[in-house]
Amino acid sequence: MDDSIMDGLPTDAFVEILLRLPPSARRRSRLVCRRWRDVVDARTPEGQSRRAKALVFFLNRSGHSPEPRCSAHVFDDLSPPSSSGREIWNSSTGTAAELAMVGCCNGVIALWEEGTGRLTLVNPSTGETLAIPPPPRLPPKRRRRRTPLVVSCLSFGYHPITGKYKIVHLPADDAMAAASSSSWCSPLDVVEVFTLGDVGVGNGATWREVAAPPGSSCHVRLGVVSLDGAAYWVAADNAVMSFDLEHERVAAVEAPLPAMPLGTWLGALAVVGGRLGVAVMGCADSYPTTTIVEVWVLEGGRSGDEEEQRTWARRYSIQGLAPGWQRMVWPYFCHGEHVLTTDVRTRRRSAHAHRLHRLRDGSRLALAHLATADTAAAAPMYDVQAFPYVGTTEPLGEYAVSDASGLSRYPYKNMLLSLFLE
C-alpha cells in the first residue's frame, strides 16, 4: 500500500482521523473504495476479530438470591492460572425480569426479557441501553413462558459491508412442532426482521416481514446463529437455511447437514473458528456412560474472486463428557484452542474451559480439562451462554433517532469527507 491514502494525506494521518470517529462510522467508511477498506481492516479494532474474547452470560433463576439475576463475564485468557473472568455487566440486584442473551455484535449485547418479550441492546463499555419492541408475531402467552424456545428463534446480526445491525425472529409454532413427529420442526412462512436506525411508521424503526419460500420450516430447538452478514437455521430433512441481512432474502444453503449415524442426534448450530458449525451428539461405544460431541463445520464458499464448493467436514471430536450434567455452552462453545462446558449438577453454575489436543493417532481432537472459571448462577443449560466480545465505545443513541429525510443514510461519512476538505 502507498504511504498516502489519497493525494496529500499520509496513511498514518488517515488512520488518526478514523480513530476519532465513532466505530460505526469507521465501518461504513469501508464502502468508499478498496483502499479505504484495507486500511480500516488492518488498522482499526473492528477489523481485528481475532482479538475477540470469550463472553459468558449467566442467568440466576433463584428469586431469593442476593446476587444479580443476570451477569456477563469476559475471559481475557482461558488458560490457567489467569482463567478467572471479569464481570462487565449485570442487572440490578432484585430485578424481577429474567433476561436471556440473544447475541453480541461489535461489543453490543442483545437481551430478551421474559414476560414482556421486549429486547434491549446494552453497551457494557458505556452503560447505554436501547429498548427494542417485541416481534409482532411473538404471542403474549409465549412472552410470559419460561422457555428457551423463544430465544432459540432470535438472532442478533451485523452486516460488515452495510454496517447495519439487524435482529431476526423466526415466528415458529413450537406447539405445532411439539405435536409433530419431525423432532420439533415447525412450519415457517415468514421471517421477521428489525433494522436498527431504519425509518418506519412515525419515523421509528419497525419490524418487517420477509416471505420464506413455500414449504419452509425450522427446527425450533437447534437455534439461529448469525455469521458474516447472514442468519442460519436448520430446516426439515437436515437442510440449512439462510437469511441474507443485506438483501433480506431467505434461501437454502447448497450443502445439507451430513447424515447422522445411528444413535446420534443434532445438538445445536454453532460458530466454530469463524465458520458455521453443528454439534452432533452421541454416546461412546467403549464408554457408554460418556458423551461424544462431533463438531462439523461448513467449508468452501467465496474466497476472493473464486467460489469453492461448500461441504461439511468434521473439525474435531469432544470426548468424555458426563451425560446429563456436563454440557456444551451454546452457541459459541469454541474459542481458539478451548471449548466451554458447564456443570448442571449444582445450583451454582460454572463455565469450564478445556484445551483441545490431538490424540495419539493424530486423526482426531479431544479435550483435556485445564481451566475452570466459577461464577454464580442457577439455571438449566440454556441459561449459560457464550459469545465473542470486543469492547466498543460506539454510542447506541444514533440508532434511537431515525432520519426521516432520507438525505443522508451515513451521516458520519459526510463528516469524514469534510475533514479532508478543511
Grid cell listed for 355: 484445551
CA distance 39 to 416: 15
190 found inside a domain: yes
47 Cβ contact list (under 8 Å, min separation 6): 40, 41
Residues recorded for the chain: 422
237 found inside a domain: yes
pLDDT for residue 167 is more than 90: yes
pLDDT for residue 153 is more than 60: yes
DSSP state of 349: -
Position 303: which residue type? S
Position 284: which residue type? A
Same-domain status, 223 and 262: yes
Whether 232 and 242 have beta carbons less than 8 Å apart is answered as yes
310 Cβ contact list (under 8 Å, min separation 6): 253, 254, 255, 298, 299, 300, 301
Same-domain status, 18 and 111: no
Q: Phi first, then psi: give them for residue 69, nearest 5 degrees.
A: -65, -35
Q: Phi first, then psi: give them for residue 410, nearest 5 degrees.
A: -125, 80
Lowest mean pLDDT among 116-130, 257-271, 283-297: 283-297
Torsion sign across C-alpha atoms 25, 170, 266, 371: positive
Whether 163 and 410 have beta carbons less than 8 Å apart is answered as yes
415 found inside a domain: yes
Same-domain status, 212 and 299: yes
Same-domain status, 9 and 102: no
Averaged pLDDT of the chain: 74
Whether 270 and 293 have beta carbons less than 8 Å apart is answered as no
Q: What is the pLDDT of residues 136-151, one digit of tens each?
A: 877 655 554 444 567 7
DSSP state of 27: H
Q: What is the pLDDT of residues 295-319, one digit of tens each?
A: 899 998 765 556 678 899 988 888 7
> What average pLDDT score do residues 63-71 get?
63
Q: Closest Cα to residue 164, out of 30, 270, 21, 72? A: 30
CA distance 398 to 395: 7
Q: Phi first, then psi: give them for residue 131, nearest 5 degrees.
A: -85, 140
pLDDT confidence bin for 75, thresholds 50/70/90: confident
Between 375 and 331, whose confidence is greater? 331
Between 22 and 354, whose confidence is greater? 354
396 found inside a domain: no
> Domain with 213 in it: what CATH number?
2.120.10.80
351 found inside a domain: yes
Same-domain status, 121 and 142: yes
Same-domain status, 279 and 414: no
> What average pLDDT score do residues 181-199 get?
80
pLDDT confidence bin for 47, thresholds 50/70/90: low
The residue segments making up the domain with residue 98 are: 48-391
Top mean pLDDT of 108-117, 229-238, 323-332 is at: 229-238
Q: What is the pLDDT of residue 164?
A: 85
Q: What is the pLDDT of residue 95?
A: 52
395 has which bridge partners?
Answer: none
Same-domain status, 297 and 420: no
Lowest mean pLDDT among 116-130, 146-160, 310-324, 378-392: 378-392
Between 414 and 174, whose confidence is greater? 174
Between 139 and 16, whose confidence is greater? 16
Same-domain status, 369 and 408: no
pLDDT confidence bin for 17, thresholds 50/70/90: confident
Q: What is the pLDDT of residue 203?
A: 46
Burial class of residue 45 (count of CB atoms within 10 Å of its CB; 0-12, 13-18, 19+): middle
Same-domain status, 156 and 125: yes
For β-strands 338-343 and 291-303, DSSP reports them as unpaired
E strands, 260-380, in order: 265-272, 275-283, 291-303, 306-321, 326-328, 334-335, 338-343, 350-358, 365-374
Answer yes or no: pTM beyond 0.75.
yes
Grid cell listed for 361: 493417532
273 found inside a domain: yes
Using CA atoms, how far residue 384 sits from 57, 142, 379, in Å, is 6, 21, 8
Grid cell listed for 422: 478543511
Whether 244 and 251 have beta carbons less than 8 Å apart is answered as yes
55 found inside a domain: yes
Same-domain status, 112 and 123: yes
126 found inside a domain: yes
pLDDT for residue 376 is more than 80: no
User: How many structural domains comprise the chain?
Assistant: 2
pLDDT confidence bin for 3, thresholds 50/70/90: low
Whether 330 and 340 have beta carbons less than 8 Å apart is answered as no
Question: Is the previous residue joined to 22 through a cis bond, with omega within 30 degrees of 0?
Answer: no
Same-domain status, 177 and 269: yes
Same-domain status, 5 and 146: no
Whether 281 and 265 have beta carbons less than 8 Å apart is answered as yes
